[in-house]
Amino acid sequence: MELNRLVSVSTGGHILYLYDDVDAYADNASAYLISGVRSGDLAILIDSAERIDRIRGLVLLALGTEERDRIIYVDADSFYDTSGSFHYKTVMEHSGELLKPYEGQSLGIRTWAHVAWKSEPCVEHELSVFEAFADRNVKGHRLVSVCAYQAGSISASLQVKMLRTHDYVMTDDEFSSTDLTGKSGGALFPSLSAQREKDRQDNVERLRLEAAARQLERITANNLDPVALFDEKGALVSLNAAFERVFGWAAQEFFGMSENGLRAKIGLRNVPEGERAPLSKANLLPDPAIQAEDAVRAEAIALSENGEVLNVLVTEFALGDEENPAGYAVIYRNITDFRDSERKLQESVERYTSLKRHNHDAVFSIDGEGRVINTNPAAQTLIGLTTEEMIGRPFSEWLAEGTMDDILRNHVAGDESLRPTVRIRNVDGHEFEVLTSTAPIIVGGRNVGCYILAKDITEHKRLLIEKQAAEEMNRAKSDFLAVMSHEIRTPMNGVITLTQLLLETEGLTAEQREYVEVIRRSGDSLLGIINDILDFSKIEAGKTELQLEPMNLREDVARSFDILLADSRAKKLELGLSITPHVPEIVVGDPNKLRQILVNLVGNAIKYTEEGGVFVSVDLEEGAPEGWVRLHFRIRDTGMGIPEAHTEHLFDPFYQLDNFMTRKSEGSGLGLAITKKLIELMHGTIGVRSKLGEGTVFRFSIDMQLPDFDEMPEETAEVAEAPVDVAAPLRILVAEDNKINQLVMERLLDRLGCESDIAEDGIEALTLAERSRYEVILMDVRMPRMDGLEAARRIRKAPERYGKPYIIAVTANAMPGDRERCLDAGMDEYMNKPVDSKRLAELLSEAEAQIRHSGKNSGKIIGESKRTTEKHD
């Protein structure tokens, strides 16, 4: 290449030497050093150790000892620090250190540097910056400097950049013909006038090339889209950083490829036929007459290195002009996000359209003036007009009550109870109450209207009123049952408990004892009816829960028989039980609920059987989930049987078999209804088959869990507790406002050998507890001035004042949640009225055992009693 600038190479010049032949390189380097030394200059060679040895061998043959000393050899690996990344600052520091000893000396210096670097991303940028700084350094020190590169080691784009930072660019032959090697006889440089003319021409060409180079730089380096540059034959010249970022491959993997090869590597192909214009043919130079902005664009599909499918817009245009073509560029714009957004937008539009079309609520699109733009089918049904008939008409035309301002101003997002309601009158004159909500219509960032959603709540409001009325009635029923339970149980406590005490007294005649026994049985019957009603109320309210615990199935079923054994013997009936051997002994279930089911069914069978017997069998059924068993119970009697027409009503509340017979038995008619509900609570079913004169068979199945013996705590041997002598003095306080119940409790405790004090209400109970520090308090719940719950809370909050007594709730409250409220207030146990003397003795024994075990009256025992809870806890 000719001279780039009008510079005398003898007074300073920066030469870019691109070599192809290694032998020519060694000859030119040695000739350059020899001619420099012979002209009196200092020569510096920066090259690899291998090439230095070869060049030194050539130099030694031509120079004497003194001349040889003016050549300095520098190892390139150390100079450029090729063990790490190439940094121009490091190289410039090494250059300064190398030249510093010769600053201010009159001798000339010429350098020969074979540039070495480690191949890595962005290294060409570092090289271009390094050459720019090296050019300033050469001019500043008035050096003659050769920067040697193997021609194929740097890209065409880097070569173009280096045109700006070198005075000369030479190949092997051109360098050999210069007087720098001493071979040309000084015939390299043209005359000054010829050089000026040539420089002028070259300057024009240089400006054109630089403009082309800047164009390429703008297209590639600064373009956010992937860009590939190809020469006139379709061979790849360069790729920009965006190409690597989008497609994931390193640019080096594509070097030397044709456009066809590049397309194959990135899987470039046309989109499905008919959707977009096809790609142009590869390796075909585009028409240079067509500008880039007018170039044909084609949409295609490509693959990234990790297999991601990309939508790309491919644009090809020629570089240069018609007379001087310079290859062509291809831009691969990644439009994947755009196409995804386009698809999502289309899906959103379709979803919105579908939602609007199929929405059960009326949807009106309203413009800024309150006129209808569009509606959905529900809106057409509500108004009685088609969408076309409503478009352009004001929405307020159909408002019978309320205004547009009411709808727009009072809208509260998220709270349906605060959303405005209006009345709409359709074309037939019918009015509907609707619940409205609005959403803005935003177009181009500007509010151009709104959507009005109108929900017809006419029927919903009627149902809501009925629901509220039903809930109020249900609350009233629950309140009534709670009051009646308390008010009936309170006098029943006196009747039943005093009757028990009376039967235990001596001196009653046989006739008197018979009368008292009738009173006791009547009281028990009335209490049973009350319990059934409360049980059914509790189940209906959904407040009955299973209390699951490991249970011995055979023992618990046998206990149910113990309860009914006296009734069967009184009627001289056989009572049989059969449990198949493969039925597991231990299961996890609610023994109390199972006992209640069996007592109801077996008790009914005994009630309606006059001769023969009642027989119960337990077996396994298939179909249980893993870790569970399905138990099948069969209760067969030899009674009178039930007409088939009546069996379907057996489990209805308050239905009694005696409705079709003479009324001989007592009961509330709730037993079987309660039984069915409890079985369903255990995920079971119940059925009945009966034949008049032959008897009845009830069958029910329930699921019970098998215990995980690995997770069950090991049972430690417990020493059987000897019955506690309740006569051992316990300090007991009875908090009770009813005089009869005070007498009952006083007499019961006296029979148990206990002394007690009476408190009329909660306040008096606190006063006495502070004074005497009782060990046990029998606490009524409903009392004047302060109830038992509040009194218990205060005792638990101030143990230093009241001690830590064992508190037993003794109350007529037997509704769902009553037991929980007592325990939450700090009480230890719960007992219903009427008070059962045996149950009272058990609770006092348990309290004394807990107190004596702790060594002192330490207060509330953590955890509930392990004893069987009462039927109405």
- Which sign, positive or negative, has the C-alpha torsion 534, 540, 541, 542? positive
For the ranges 50-54, 234-238, 305-309, 756-760, the lowest mean pLDDT is seen at 234-238
Q: Quick one: tokens of 643?
A: 């007409």
CA distance 501 to 180: 138
pLDDT over 50 (residue 659): no
CA distance 229 to 329: 5
Same domain, 251 and 284: yes
- What pLDDT, in 10s, does the model give residues 724-745? 444 456 889 999 988 888 888 8
**At which of 485, 513, 542 does a domain end?**
542
Question: Cβ of 381: how many Cβ atoms within 10 Å?
Answer: 14
**871 within some domain:** no
Same domain, 414 and 508: yes
Nearest to 675 by CA among 713, 693, 702, 694: 702
Q: Which of 4-13, 287-296, 441-450 shows the highest mean pLDDT?
A: 441-450
Say if CB 269 and CB 301 are below 8 A apart. yes
Q: Quick one: tokens of 401?
A: 């009550």
Same domain, 298 and 425: no
CATH number, domain with residue 621: 3.30.565.10
The mean pLDDT of 194-213, rounded to a whole number, is: 68
Say if CB 612 and CB 588 are below 8 A apart. no
pLDDT over 70 (residue 79): yes
CA distance 267 to 281: 15
Same domain, 307 and 382: no
pLDDT band of residue 757 (cuts 50, 70, 90) is very high
Tokens 């032949």 -> residue:
21
The share of the chain scoring above pLDDT 70, in percent, equals 80
- What pLDDT, in 10s, does the model give residues 10-57? 445 788 888 888 888 998 888 888 888 888 888 999 999 999 999 998
- What pLDDT, in 10s, does the model give residues 510-532? 888 787 877 877 777 677 667 76
CA distance 37 to 34: 5
Per DSSP, what are the bridge partners of residue 227?
A: 331
- What pLDDT, in 10s, does the model give residues 301-318? 999 999 999 999 988 888
What confidence score (pLDDT) does residue 613 get?
93
- What pLDDT, in 10s, does the model give residues 541-556? 666 778 888 999 988 8
What confidence score (pLDDT) does residue 403 get?
87
What confidence score (pLDDT) does residue 601 get?
92
Say if CB 725 and CB 708 are below 8 A apart. no
Same domain, 35 and 172: yes
CA distance 735 to 780: 6
Per the structure, how many domains does the chain have?
5
- Which sign, positive or negative, has the C-alpha torsion 162, 164, 167, 169? positive
Same domain, 128 and 267: no
**719 within some domain:** no
Nearest to 674 by CA among 563, 594, 564, 597: 597
Residue 538 parent element (H or E): helix 510-540
**390 within some domain:** yes
What confidence score (pLDDT) does residue 91 get?
85
CA distance 485 to 488: 5
**717 within some domain:** no
What confidence score (pLDDT) does residue 668 get?
58
The mean pLDDT of 417-431, rounded to a whole number, is: 82
HEC sequence for 832-851:
ECCCCHHHHHHHHHHHHHHH
Same domain, 432 and 499: yes
Say if CB 183 and CB 177 are below 8 A apart. yes
pLDDT over 70 (residue 839): yes
- What pLDDT, in 10s, does the model give residues 279-300? 777 666 666 666 666 677 888 8
Same domain, 165 and 272: no
Residue 810 parent element (H or E): strand 806-811
pLDDT over 70 (residue 665): no
Question: What are the Cα distances from residue 208, in Å, to 237, 291, 327?
Answer: 19, 17, 15
- What pLDDT, in 10s, does the model give residues 611-657? 999 999 999 999 888 889 999 999 999 998 888 777 777 777 766 65
The share of the chain scoring above pLDDT 90, in percent, equals 20
Cβ within 8 Å of residue 729, ≥6 positions away: 754, 755
**353 within some domain:** no
pLDDT over 90 (residue 796): yes
For the ranges 118-127, 423-432, 488-497, the lowest mean pLDDT is seen at 488-497
CA distance 90 to 632: 91
Same domain, 419 and 380: yes
CATH number, domain with residue 29: 3.40.50.300
pLDDT band of residue 270 (cuts 50, 70, 90) is confident
Cβ within 8 Å of residue 58, ≥6 positions away: 26, 27, 30
CA distance 538 to 56: 110
For the ranges 7-16, 97-106, 344-353, 403-412, the lowest mean pLDDT is seen at 7-16
The mean pLDDT of 799-820, rounded to a whole number, is: 84
Same domain, 748 and 688: no
pLDDT averaged over every residue in the chain: 80
Same domain, 315 and 244: yes
**199 within some domain:** no
Say if CB 584 and CB 624 are below 8 A apart. no
Strand 446-456 relative to strand 586-589: parallel, antiparallel, unpaired? unpaired
CATH number, domain with residue 246: 3.30.450.20
**At which of 170, 190, 210 does a domain end?**
190
Nearest to 378 by CA among 419, 460, 434: 434
Cβ within 8 Å of residue 720, ≥6 positions away: none
Amino acid identity of 617? S
The mean pLDDT of 789-807, rounded to a whole number, is: 93
pLDDT band of residue 80 (cuts 50, 70, 90) is confident
Per DSSP, what are the bridge partners of residue 637?
A: 614
Say if CB 577 and CB 569 are below 8 A apart. no
**345 within some domain:** no
- What pLDDT, in 10s, does the model give residues 675-730? 898 999 899 999 999 888 889 999 999 999 988 765 555 444 443 344 444 445 68
For residue 804, give the DSSP letter.
Answer: B
What confidence score (pLDDT) does residue 816 get?
62
pLDDT over 50 (residue 345): yes
Instruction: Give residue 832's domain range.
Output: 731-854
CA distance 103 to 96: 10
HEC sequence for 36-87:
HHHCCCEEEEEECHHHHHHHHHHHHCCCCHHHHCCEEEEEHHHHCCCCCCCC
Same domain, 322 and 378: no
CA distance 606 to 614: 7
The mean pLDDT of 758-769, rounded to a whole number, is: 93
**471 within some domain:** yes
